[in-house]
């Protein structure tokens, strides 16, 4: 079974819901491209060549007076807070940010819900916090919560037994 890209879907849906006019991009590479690569291949070709080595922010939004760096987490929001701080430092050195024209950076964390410590951490780092909870995320979280129950484990064992019985695995 292929891996579901839940967080990519999550950030894409939030961007579409929040900025229906567009002016955004997902999975954006960040960080400087070595000068020797730019000198040899040019900025665009050098960026394509170096992209596998670059970190990626979930999304960027370009507005006339602001440039948003967006990180979305369904689970483990603490990771995103640290990532956003790193991404801002990298964005300041990124030569090929889409539609960047010197706007100030603003960090945005998108989560399905927030505990007090998340709100405090976001506030302490002068970030924006956005709550976004589509129905499919609720269902996914419920499924994760049930995964470790005895009933779910027995059901999974039965499913696996049937797959083996019918030669499906």
The per-residue pLDDT for range 139-158, each reduced to its tens digit, is: 888 887 777 788 888 888 89
pLDDT digits (tens, 9 = 90+) for 74-101: 998 999 999 999 999 999 999 999 999 9
Instruction: Please give the average per-residue pLDDT across 117-139, as a whole number.
Output: 96
How far is 108 from 19, CA to CA, in rounded Å? 14
Q: What is the pLDDT of residue 155?
A: 86
**pLDDT at res. 147:** 74
Going by pLDDT thresholds of 50, 70 and 90, the confidence category of residue 14 is very high
Right CATH for 6-133 from 3.40.1350.10, 3.40.630.30, 1.10.260.40, 3.40.190.10: 3.40.1350.10
Could you tell me the residue ranges of all domains in the chain? 6-133, 134-169
Q: What is the largest CA-CA distance in the chain?
A: 62
CA 24 to chain centroid, in Å, comes to: 13
- Average pLDDT for the chain: 92
101-54-48 Cα angle (round to 5): 75
Query: Which of 162, 163, 141, 13 has its CA nearest to residue 77?
Result: 141
């Amino acid at each position: 079974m292929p891996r579901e890209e839940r967080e990519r879907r999550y950030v894409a849906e939030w961007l579409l819901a929040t900025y229906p006019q567009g002016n955004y991009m997902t999975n954006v590479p960040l960080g400087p491209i070595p000068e020797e690569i730019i000198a040899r291949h040019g900025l665009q070709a050098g960026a394509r060549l170096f992209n596998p080595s670059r970190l990626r922010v979930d999304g960027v939004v370009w507005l006339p007076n602001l440039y948003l760096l967006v990180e979305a987490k369904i689970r483990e929001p603490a990771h995103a807070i640290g990532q956003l701080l790193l991404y801002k430092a990298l964005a300041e050195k990124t030569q090929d940010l889409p539609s960047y024209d010197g706007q100030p950076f603003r960090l945005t964390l998108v989560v399905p819900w927030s505990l007090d410590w998340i709100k405090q951490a976001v506030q302490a780092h002068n970030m924006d916090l956005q709550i976004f909870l589509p129905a499919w995320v609720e269902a996914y979280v419920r499924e994760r919560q049930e995964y470790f129950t005895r009933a779910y484990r027995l059901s999974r064992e039965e499913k696996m037994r049937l797959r083996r019985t019918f030669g499906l695995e």
